Structures are given as structure tokens and as C-alpha cells.
Structure 1
């Protein structure tokens, strides 16, 4: 992966007519002997894929967030139609600006909002709940038996009498704390959503979120507004994420400017810098076009991938520019220089980009569609870089070349290899000391101490969300402020964990089943973090007491079937949320204080233990439904996938390194710095309060896949010099002289491309930016410091021949045994 180095130096040919155009590999001849055709094909393909990309939308799906293969999720999906409002939902709270909710102006506004929300696409209208919907009912025991009806009086007209009736019905319905705030200053509309709208299409969360924002702006904005509106739920969260991502296009431009500035500061050549940027942007166009062509869409998680593709493309393009500039600086014609660079860098560059692809593709093992689509999108993006950066850049540079000043300046790196160091060159000479035993031992001891301390800290790394609200957004975001208001004013949170009891038809009527439901209800209520529970057993208890003049001693489950049946019939006729119409599925709901990992783990363990002890063929106890149930399953899948993902990515990268270096010792030298960075990154996550979840799980894999590039750049050159007969110290010094600065350049460019994310309004993007910046920089430092230190102990055997005084002697003698990607260069030297 090196830039130009003399041990495999080729003849300086200033006139392309003196160059053998049939030399090189078959692939090289096909590419460079048909340059015009290739460029025209690229332009046509860019136009076609650009047109495809223009129709690409940013969207999201609730189902894509579900771990589809997990038994808990399969239980939910198989019984989804029988569960009422326990899937995707939105909660809207309407607060009275002045006074409480019992005034005609507030109730008029609430009625209008309720009606507008009812008509929105995707709303599961029969199960929408508010004090204005008929499904919310009150019941009362009177001398004549049970009485009941909708909370909203049938003759409601806004008069003081009907408002007072509404107040009484709210108290009868026991909805204070759930649909009505504890202080009576606001009320809630619970809006369950269907997976498909009336036209059979997935619900457009962005459109739904915009509709809710429009309702909010019309009713709750301005000095004369009588209400305030608060909205939470998955659909609103996704809508806010998409809106936020549209704003972070500025960060994309900033990242591009920074990357281009870094590359230009190194090359001082405008034409080649613009070319590298253009080819990287072309890769993004191809990526987005292919994603659209394959029928996929971008979502808030994969939306960040194009940022990475540009950063990776620019950094890899710098390697091609460096080699071509050095050849041109020696007097080689730009076409010949481009072919020389292609020979040296294509296979090694492909290895590095394949390692990047592996870092993304290994995410496919995670059984969450949104992560699999991210993996696919990213793999496509990095995959097309193999063509745009490894092939198109050399071809284009064969036409436009580089400025003479840039070419002459590029030789300064090699010319200072044996000169007295000064300025920043002192840093590079300082790095050479790490090939000596004393410095190597010291650096490895420091690395070991950091690794042990980082590993001890990483043991505290948690799975899932560690904060209330939506951790994907900033704490002061509108969504999290809305969530904080709702949490503080309502006794029941929006985090609902549901356990299903499945029986044959009418099976929930039996005394035995009701007793098991009651026991499960009690078991979940004992779990820390559960605010309260609700189930069919509780409903039967209430109805039973009502049959006997409301006496508390009858608030029980009778073993007399003739007493049970009327209670179940009442529950069915009044559309209880705890059972379906066939009385074959009953749910036990646990309302949680939050959706933190520890809370969800406790509920899952309690429910699973109960199911193992009490489940049977006649009474299946199935986990899990509700939004907290989905979060719990996602945590389980992420926990299982985390270490497995790391194992696979390290195994794949190790295999690629083994093919490239042909030395298992070199593989260890390349991988150990990556392992240290992975451990320290997990420790950093603990320090920053970031848990492993859908948004952060890909980061470590990406850091490994992209981070191995540094070792490939550096070690491939170092090993060639060692196999030429140089010592480890001399080989590393010469590798630094030719590629050390480019390795640093790549690290800084990649880090600069993502560090701006730290200021994003989207918190999960900021978290990813901080972690990726940390990993890119530490991987670079690990390559520059730990690779020579490890080489001192593990790779001295690679210096097989007697040391050679200088590289010109090597060039004059027989060419050394090269790495696989140098064979063509050696054959033509």
C-alpha cells in the first residue's frame, strides 16, 4: 500500500512512446489502453445512477427496528392483530394554558385536535384513546347493578352541566394519571398506529410527524393560543431525526472542506485535490443510486454512511496522488506514472478497502433489518470506491497529471530520509526510536497498562439506553422536553411491557387461567422499576366486587364459573384492552418507570422465569409486546451480537492481512493496536455514558475495518524493505519516509471527516462522531508507535538478507521478493 519507494523503483520514462503499453497485468492493459471508453462509461453510469438517486427518500419503518428472528418478536408479530394498541403508537398531550381542562375553550380545542388526529393516515382508529373517544368508558356499581358508558357524556355541548358530568365520568373511569394529568391541567390522546396505511403502504413517519407538527403550530402557537401540545412516540422520534438529519447537511459540507484542506495542504495541487474529491462524491452518487435501484431507502441510521464514504474515499485517494506525484517529480510522464502507481497500489488498495467493506458487511449477522440495511448501504458505498478510487483516479491523473511544483515538493519526503532532521521531521525521527528495545519495551508496557485499565472499565459497559427519554436526541431537544413534561405529570409512563397468555378459544374464561394471569400480574408488580401492572384478572376482581354492592371482600377471582362468565362477557362487550374477541389471548401490562437496560432486564427475567414455571400447552405464556417489550428484545439481540460481531470482523481482517503480508507474525503486529483501540473505545463509551444499542453497535466494527488500513499502508512497505535485507529499524525509517506522513494524513482526514458530528443536533450522530474520531486517531497512533515496537520483537526474522547501505544499491541489484501486490512491479522493474 506504499507510495513510491526505490526498492521496487521502475525506470523513469519521460516519453510515453518509449513505454511498453502491453506491459503490466491484463487488468492494467484493459484499463489504461481504453481510458477514454472507461471515462465515458463512468460519466454515463454517474448520470444514470444520479437520476436513480434523485428519487431516494429518507424514511423509516417500525418493523425494521424489530429483531425479526427472535422468538419474542415472532410471538408479537404472530399475534399483532389480536393486540390492541400495544405496538407502534404516538402520545399527544394537550395542556390548558390557563386553569384546568374543565373549561369549554380547552375542551373545544381538544375535540378539534382529537378529530384531526383521528383522520391521519396510519392511525388504528378503533383503538385510539382519549376522553373524547367511545372506547374510553366508565363503570359504576349502583343499587340496580352495573352502570357505565363513554367518559364523554352523550349529550355533551360545552355547557357547565355537561362539563361537570365529564368531570364525574373521568373520576369514575379511573383515568387520572393515564389519560388525564394528575393536576387536571392536561389530557392525553393515545394514537396506536397500523403497520400499513389504508392504501397498503408503510406509514410515512416523516409525513405523519409533519402533520402532527402542523397541528401543534395551528393550535398551540401564538400569544392567543389556549393550549400547549406535547408529542412523543416512535413515529415522532423518527420524524424529528429525519428533520434533524436534513439540517446536518452543513456538517457534510464542513467535513468536505476540512478533508480537502488537509489533502491540499499536503499536495499543494488544486487539480488533483479536486479530482480526488470529485471521485469520492461520484462514489456517493453511485452508492445512493444503487441503493435506490435495489429498492431500498435511507433511514436515520444509514443516512450517515455517505459522510463516511467521502472521508474514506478522500483518504485513500491521497495514497494514489502521493505515488503519482513522486514519479512525475522524477521525470516520469503522467501516463506512465499512473500505470506505475496502479501496479503498486491496486491489490493492496483493494485489500484495505475490502477490510473496510468487511467492517460494514459483518453487521449483516445482526438480526435487525435497520442495521442490515445500514451494512448493505455502507458495503455498496465502500465497494464502489474500489472502482472510483483505485481505477478512475489513476486514469484521470494520467490525463491531467499534477502541477510541477506539487511533483517537486513530493520528493522532499524521500530526500529528507537521510538528511539532518528539522522542524516536524523530528517527530518522524522520534518514531524510529520505537524500533529499539528500550523504547519498544516501554511503549508496549504503556499499551498493556492502558489495555488492562480500559478492559476493567469496559466491563461496566451496558447494553441499551442509559438515560430517560430518547437518547438519540439531545437532552434539550423538543422531543425530550415533551417526554419530560409527560413523565412528570402522568402516573403511567409510555414504556409498556406486555406479556401474552395464549389459550384455546374462550380459554381465558377458566378459573385456572385467571389465577395464572393474576399470579403473573403480581410477579411483574414486584420488579424494581415497574410503576404498576394491569390485567384481565384485575378487571374481573373489580367486576366481581361490583356484583356484590362494591364490597372489597369480593374483590377476588371466584372459582364459580357462573360468576366468572358475566365478568368476561362485560370485558368483551366493552372492548377491554386485556383480551381479544375470542378470549384466546389475554395480556398483562407492566408500566415501567423508564426503558433503561437494567429495568428491562429485570422485567424480562421475571416474566421468563414465570413462563418456565407456569407455562403449559393449554396456557402459553409469551413474551413480549409493547414498546418496552421491543426495546428489551433489541437489547438481548444486541448483547448477543456484540462479541460475535467483533469476532467475525477480527477474523476477516486477520485473513486479509495474512493474504497480504504472508506472515502470521505480521498479522499479530497489525491487529494488536486495533484490539487496544477497541478496548479503549468501549472504556470511552462507559466514561461518556453511552450504551451499546442499535445506533452505536456498528461503531466498533467500523473502527476495526477502517483502522486496519494504517497497518496495511505501513507494514506493506516496511516488509518489502526488510525482505530487501534491511533491519527493522532501517526498514521502518524508510517506510516512514515514504508513507508515514500519508498514514498520518489518512488518520487526520478520516477523523476530520467525522469530528464535526460532535456538534450535530442528533445525539446518536454526535456519539458516533466522537467514537469514530477517537478510533481513527488511536488506530493511527497505534500503527505509528506500536507497529515498530511489536516489529522489534516479532518481525526481525523478516530481514533475511544482509543489510543494504542505501536504497540505490537495492535498486541496482536484483529486486527483492515482493509482497503479492508488488509482483507486477518487480517483474517490470
Structure 2
């Protein structure tokens, strides 16, 4: 027996830990003080570059030429609406000027690129009998008089800004604000600051929306753009703390009902909250903050910690019937559950680590945070918790309930044990096969990317999406822009061959479904050439004369760079739905493949639609690879643990059913596979394997004793079924509160994870014994156990 115990890793760890209990308590206490102090310094943060796949060719090209792409990167648009009358009002124009000036001085704004009617680079052009005439849309002589306003109206009509900076109905106009990810500190020009999206969003609300809407009731402000959307998402994180408190309260009540012991209930909650604190503290030490996507991680750490804590308490209660004291019971429970718990948590961690395969910063940070959290749970809930319980013990009521439960027959578990019955098992397998077939059939409707207009991360009735709807409905150029970059040698972008190719691309895209309009330097050049020929429509075409072309693009502001080596083609889309992006991108790629030469190339892509297309491309390519990786990792861990293909199949196949049904549910609910939902797939598999590992570990123990399968499964459910059921409920509660979040993608993640956690639990209880009936040979297990004992 000594040789056996020495070779048992659980026994070795047990002696090391329980022989040094005071040191374990002291080390955990000191670690908690330090890491909780670190956790208190964690702040919500994100960045534009973390949300995009930096290694994708589209993004690499966009970043390579970002200095040449004016106002086509990270920017915000402020639409100032006149609720009474139109914009040709002295009071409105003065308010617009103040808003433009106010926005100009907000830290993080790229001031050189700010554009509004008051900007000197917004100009008008017309053809007269004396030639071309032009000037600033709002001239220096503007004084707010009726004559000035009439002149302003005329200038706007001649500027080409109707539908762009000015609404089609003249009831609103836009202030465009390009942003800098890093900018000099206003107080110390030698220090660089990162753009704080939450602070920037608050400044827009405080200094723009609230200030001017309160000053002038005839004004209404609408703000859209990536930075504003992210700012609203981060604000939504504050409300998440309430959900955490609700989940904590519900879990406390359920734990108390499960354990019937206030001491053990508090011990589980305490050690789990320690795990959350350690995880946040370690993230801060690693230089990470909390963004809207990784906010899920503390909830998962809490839920996983509670689930494993329940197994420990259940094990202590079961061991107490034969143990002489609390210490012996804790040691017995630790010895029994340490290896299954380690395997389950290791499987969780491996599942999370597979998310590192996805080249998107926020997903990789989520993977790191979740993996750190799981590693922490090993220390707090598998080691620290048993030590704490060895001092506290369980209440007499808990011990009495455990003994009574062990002694009496359980009607519920007796009925559930029929899942292992020879008559019921084939029916269960048949139902599972039908469910898989239906899930695969309906799951074909699952799409990659966004399926709604506006910001799908927010609810349709959110203020941001209402603002976005206003801009879409009142302007000709939507907020969804796909930018094609036309790269040429220096001083060559105005050559006829280049511009003719751009004109052909414009025609092709204007006739592509989902495209609203197309703007490029060719658009301006053709209008100028027409103007130089008395406005005759026959002359609205490109000239082969180089001097004419060079002169025609001189008024194409921001539509080519300073050395005429890059010219963007702006393709305004009706929306950024997955199908719209795929259609537009495919059309551009087809055109580029047919028309690229050594002298000019059509490069994808910039603009927010280009970024979305690149993100969809990465997710589409990564989804299958990630799923293969997470299942391969979990299968490897199970094979390493059980040394049996049959046992591994019993644990893994219920997870496969859940994954298939999860995809079908996403398709039915209209949820696309995107940055917010892709991690759910890995999380559902990684965490869901816990149920099967705990159930099969106990089942195998009873089978090795020579107990028939159905009776062995009954004893398994009687000893650990209640804990597994409670584990599923706790995991679901940890994320179910998110369903009520103001942030739609959090509600979607909460709904999907709740489904996957509950269905994984039900699948393990229902399908695992049916699979075991066909795959597991009890006699072989018994013989192996006898041989092992004889050799020991």
C-alpha cells in the first residue's frame, strides 16, 4: 500500500498541503493582500487596434498607408440637428461654430483633419464666364444676416457637400472628428497619452451633447463612430457589477440550500471571490485592463470556482460519514477529487488557450485572462478551500443530511439511472443522432459577421443606434465605408490609365448590390472637366490630356495624397451586414485580379467596412481551426486521464451535441459568429467537459468494484449527481444575469453560455451512460483493477 500511495500524485500533494496547513493559509493571505491591491487598480480600457486583426493583409495595408488616408480611420461624426426650421439660421450656425471649436480642442482629436461647414478646407467651386470661381463655404464676410445666409445656401449647393456634411433636407450638418490613438499630453508635450475611449465619450456627452442641447432647445445632437460606440460599451460595464452582485446573492442562497451549512457556504464564496481578486490582480500585473469583451472572464472565474468548490464540499460531506474529524474528511475529499479537478480545470485552460489562435487582440486577452483565472482556481478552490474546511468542518445539520442522503434510496436518481439501461440507451443514442442531424441542417444558416444595421453590440433602441439611424436616413453617404486604395508610383495617380481604371471600378461598384454610392478623385475630375466646358453633360468624362487631368484633380480635396501616389476610392455601403460586405469585397477583389498592373494596384481595404470585412475573414478562417484545436486539446486531456478511447468518447460526444445545437440556436436567434460570440464556442466546450470528467471518474470507480453498469451509475448519481446538477446551475447563473444587460452582445453571450452550460450538464447526465452501455466493458475494468491491486 505504501508503494501505491507514494506513486499517487493526489496522495503526495495531500501530504505536502495538509502537513503544512498554517503555511498554506499564510501564503494565501499574503498573496491575497498583494493581488487585491493590484486588482483595485484595474480600469476599463480598450483600443482601436485591439479590436482588429492586425496581421490581416487588409489591415496591414490600411496601417501602412494610414497617414495618406485622411478621415478614413478611427473617427467620430457629430450631427447637429435643427429641430425647428433648417440650418440657415444665425443661432444654429453660431451653435455649429461653437461645437466645431469645442470638438477641435478635445484631447485625442487629430485637429488637422476636423471638418465642418466652418472649416476653411470645406470649399465651393463654380464655373463662370470668366472661368472657375470658388472659396470657403462660410466666407470671412459672413455676419449672420439674411444676405449672408442666402450666400451660405448658395455656397453649400455648389460645394458638393449636400448628403455628406449637410443633410439632404438641410435640417442638420455634420462635424467630422478624426482621432489619434496616441497623442501628446496637453500638459506636457513630451509625454504621449493613449486615447481613453471612456473619457473621450464622456467629454463628447458633457461638452457637446449635454452642454449645447441644454443651451439651445432647438438643437439636437447625434454622435456616431467607433470611439463613441466603445465608450458606450465601457459605460455599460459599470452596470455589469450589479449583475455580479445578483449572481453572488443567488449563488449564496443555492449554496446554503445545497450544503445546509453556513460555514461551508461562506468558505466556498470566500475562496471563489479570492480567485476572482487574484485573477484581476494578475491581469493588472501583466499590463491588461478590462474591456467590454474580457468583462466576461471574472464571471466565468466565479462560476467555475463555485462549481469546483461545490464538488469539494460534497466530497467532504460524503467522507465525513467514515472520517474521524474534519481534517480527515477534508484529506479524503482532496485525495478523491484532486486529480479529476486538475484534469477538468486543465481542460478548461487548454480550451481557453486555443483562443490565442485568433489574431484579434481582445480575444487573445480574453484567452489569457480566462487561463490565468483557471490556474488561480486550482490554488484557491482545489487547495486553499479544503484546507479552510479542514479547520471549519461542516455543521451537524449538513453531516446529518449527508448521512441520511447516503443511507436512503433516491427515487429521482434511481429513475435517472435508467439512462444506462439496455432498453433506454439505444433510444437515447437515436434521439442524440436525430438532434445532431437537425442541428447540422439548421446550423447551415449560421453566418459570420453582423446581421443587423448599426452597432450590433448595442440594442436597436440604444441611443447610439438611434443616432446612427438618423444619420443613415438623412445623409447620402452612410457610416459604412469600404475604402479601396489605388497605389501608383509617385506623381502618377492622375494618369489617364489609372483614372480610367478607377472610373471602371466606380461603375462596377455602383452596380453592385448593397452599394449606396462611390466617391473618388475621378468623381471630382469629371465634374470639373464638365465645368470647364460650359457644364455640357457630354464633357462629363475623363480627358486623355495630362494637363487637363492634372488641373481637374486640383480640387479633389483629401481624395489623393501629397505626392499623388495613393488615391482612395470610397464605397459607401447600405449597411455592414455580413452578406453586404462579402458581396462588395468579392466584387473589388475580382476587379483587382483582372486590372492590377505593375503601374497601379487596387488594394483592400480601409474604412470601417474594410475593417469589418477583415475581421469577418479572420473569424471565418479561425472558427473551424479553433474548434478542432479545442476538441483536440480536450480529447488529449481525457485520453491522458482515463487511458481509454471509449471513456474519452463517453465524455466528448455529449459536448459535440451541445456545440451542434449551439450553432443551430445562434442561427435561429439571428446571432452571427463574430468577435463577441466566437469565444462562446471554446468556452462552452472547455468548461462543459467538467461534468463528464466528474461523472465518469465516479462511474469508473464503481465499475472497477464489479458493480453492474446501471447500479454503478445509480451510485454515481447518488454520490455526485446532486453536485453536478448544482454545478450546471451555478455556471448558468454566473452568466444568465447577462441576458438583461444593456449591451446586446453581452446579452447574446449570456444567453448562449447559459444554454451551453445547462445542456452540457444535461447531456452528460443523459447521454454519457447511454454511450457507456455500448462502449465500456465493466468486466475489463474490474479485471484491470484486480491486476493493479495485485501488482501493488
Q: What band does the TM-score fall into relative to the shorter chain?
A: over 0.9
Quote the Cα distance in structure 2 between the aligned partners of 1:556 and 1:671.
65
| 2:16 corresponding residue in structure 1 | 30
Matched, 1:187 2:179: no
Q: Which structure 2 residues correspond to residues 255-404 of structure 1 after superposition, within 5 A?
A: 255-404=247-396
Partner of 2:480: 495
SS in 2 for 1:197: strand
Deviation of 1:222 (Å):
4.5
Give distance in 2, aligned partners of 1:261 and 1:445.
38
1:133 corresponding residue in structure 2:
119
Note the 1:730-745 alignment, pairs <5 A: 730-745=711-726
Judge conservation of contact 2:354–2:626 (CA < 8 Å) in 1: yes
2:39 equivalent in structure 1: 53
Mapped partners of 2:530, 2:322: distance in 1: 97
- 1:587 corresponds to 2:579: no
2:703 corresponds, among 711, 722, 726, to 722
* Structure 1 segment 118-157 matched on structure 2, within 5 A: 118-157=104-143
Displacement of 1:215 in angstroms is 2.6
**Residues 158 and 24 of structure 1: is their aligned pair in 2 closer, same or farther, counting only changes over 3 Å?**
closer
Q: Is 2:83 aligned against 1:91? A: no
Change (3 A) 1:486 1:817: farther
Q: Distance in 1 between matches of 2:779 and 2:472?
A: 65
Q: Output one character per residue of 1:444-472: Cα deviation in whole Å (capped at 9) or x when no partner.
A: 11111111111111000011110111111
CA 1:389 to 1:800, structure 2 compared with 1: closer, same or farther past 3 Å?
A: closer
Q: How many residues align?
A: 781
Q: Does 1:627 align with 2:608?
A: yes
Measure the CA separation in 1 of the matches of 2:9 and 2:307: 29
2: CA distance, partners of 1:628 / 1:183: 26
- State the partner residue of 2:583: 602
Q: 1:305 to 1:718 in 2, by over 3 A?
A: same
Q: How does 1:779-794 map to 2 (within 5 A)?
A: 779-794=760-775
Q: Check 1:23–1:502 CA distance in 2 against 1; reply closer, same or farther (3 A cut).
A: closer
- Of residues 649, 655, 667, the one that matches 2:636 is 655
From 39, 58, 65, the equivalent of 1:79 is: 65
Partner of 1:521: 506
Instruction: Tell me how far apart the structure 1 counterparts of residues 439 and 196 of structure 2 sit (CA, whole Å).
Output: 43
On the 8 A contact 2:350/2:630 being kept in 1, the answer is yes
Distance 2:391 2:461 in 1: 53
Structure 1's 798 and 716: CA in aligned 2 closer, same or farther, altered over 3 A? Answer: farther
Kindly state the Cα deviation for residue 817 of structure 1 after the two structures are TM-superposed: 7.0
- How far residue 140 of structure 1 moved from its aligned partner, in angstroms, is 0.8
Deviates more, 1:212-221 or 1:763-772: 212-221
Question: How far apart, in 1, do the equivalents of 2:694 and 2:512 lie?
Answer: 54
- Counterpart of 2:758 in structure 1 is 777
Q: Matched residues in 1 for 2:39 and 2:414: separation?
A: 48
Which of these residues, 682, 690, 694, is aligned with residue 675 of structure 2? 694
- The answer to whether the 8 A contact 1:65-1:368 is kept is yes
Match of 1:480 in 2: 465
For the 8 Å contact 1:720–1:817, the answer to whether it is kept is no
Alpha-carbon shift at residue 654 of structure 1 (Å): 0.5
**Alignment match, 1:3:** none
Name the residue aligned to 1:811. Answer: none
Aligned partner of 1:428 in structure 2 is 413
Distance 1:797 1:741 in 2: 24
Kindly provide the CA deviation profile for residues 206-226 of structure 1, in whole angstroms up to 9, marking residues without a partner as x. 011000110345435449522
Counterpart-to-counterpart distance in 2, 1:290 and 1:339: 29
Deviations 1:521-558 (A, max 9, x none): 22221211100001111121112112222222221111
Secondary structure of the corresponding residue to residue 507 of structure 1: coil
Judge conservation of contact 1:23–1:29 (CA < 8 Å) in 2: no
| TM-score, length of structure 2 as denominator length | 0.96
Q: Which runs of 5+ in 2 are unaligned?
A: 186-191
1:757 maps to which of 738, 743, 748: 738
Report if aligned partners of 1:487, 1:493 keep a CA contact under 8 Å in 2: yes
Shift of 1:81: 0.8
Q: Secondary structure at the match of 1:565?
A: helix
Whether 1:214 and 2:197 are equivalent positions in the alignment is no
Report the alpha carbon displacement of residue 797 of structure 1 after superposing the two structures with TM.
4.8
Which residue does the alignment assign to 1:112?
98
In the alignment, the residues of structure 2 paired with residue 235 and residue 627 of structure 1 have an alpha-carbon distance, to the nearest angstrom, of 12
Per-residue CA deviation, residues 236-284 of structure 1 (Å, 9 max, x unaligned), is 1111111111012111011111122222111111111111111111111
Q: 1:513, 1:182 → 2: CA distance?
A: 32
Cα distance 1:685–1:798, how it changes in 2: closer, same or farther (>3 A)?
Answer: farther
CA distance in 1, matches of 2:398, 2:752: 34
Task: Give the 5 Å matches for 1:535-684.
Answer: 535-571=520-556, 576-684=557-665
| Range with bigger deviation, 649-658 or 612-621 | 612-621
- Which of residues 180, 183, 187 is equivalent to 1:197? 183
Seen in structure 2, the aligned counterparts of structure 1 residues 135 and 223 have a Cα distance that, compared at 3 Å, is closer
- Distance, in Å, in 1 between the alignment partners of 2:155 and 2:148 is 10
CA distance in 2, matches of 1:304, 1:237: 19
Distance in 2 (alpha carbons) for counterparts of 1:759 and 1:674: 27
Indicate the RMSD between aligned Cα atoms, in angstroms: 2.0
User: Is the Cα contact below 8 Å between 1:723 and 1:817 reproduced in 2?
Assistant: no
Cα deviations across residues 593-642 of structure 1 (Å, max 9, x unaligned)?
Answer: 10000000001101111111111232122100000100011011111111
Q: Aligned to 1:279, what secondary structure does the other structure show?
A: helix
Change in 2 beyond 3 A, CA 1:798/1:105: farther
Matched with 1:15 is: none
Q: Kindly tell me: are residues 798 and 717 of structure 1, through their superposed partners in 2, closer, same or farther at Cα, counting changes over 3 Å?
A: farther
Alpha-carbon distance between aligned partners in 2 of 1:318 and 1:518, rounded to the nearest angstrom: 67
One of 173, 190, 199 as aligned partner of 2:159: 173
SS at match of 1:329: coil
Deviation for aligned residue 1:165: 1.2
- TM-aligned CA deviation for residue 570 of structure 1: 4.1
- Displacement of 1:328 in angstroms is 2.2
Alignment-derived partner of residue 455 in structure 1: 440
Q: Give the distance between the partners of 2:591 and 2:324, measured in 1 at CA.
A: 77
Give the Å deviation of 1:332.
Answer: 2.5
Output the CA distance in 1 between the equivalents of 2:626 and 2:282. Answer: 26
- Secondary structure at 1:437's aligned position in 2? coil
| 1:32–1:395 CA contact under 8 A, matched in 2 | yes
Given that 1:506 and 1:584 are in contact with CA atoms closer than 8 Å, whether structure 2 keeps it comes out as: yes
Partner Cα separation in structure 2 for residue 219 and residue 521 of structure 1: 42
Instruction: Give the equivalent residue in structure 1 for 2:56.
Output: 70
- Structure 2 CA distance for aligned equivalents of residues 110 and 224 of structure 1: 11
C-alpha separation in 1, matches of 2:531 and 2:699: 86
Alpha-carbon separation, structure 2, partners of 1:143 and 1:233: 43
Distance in 1 separating the partners of 2:326 and 2:517: 75
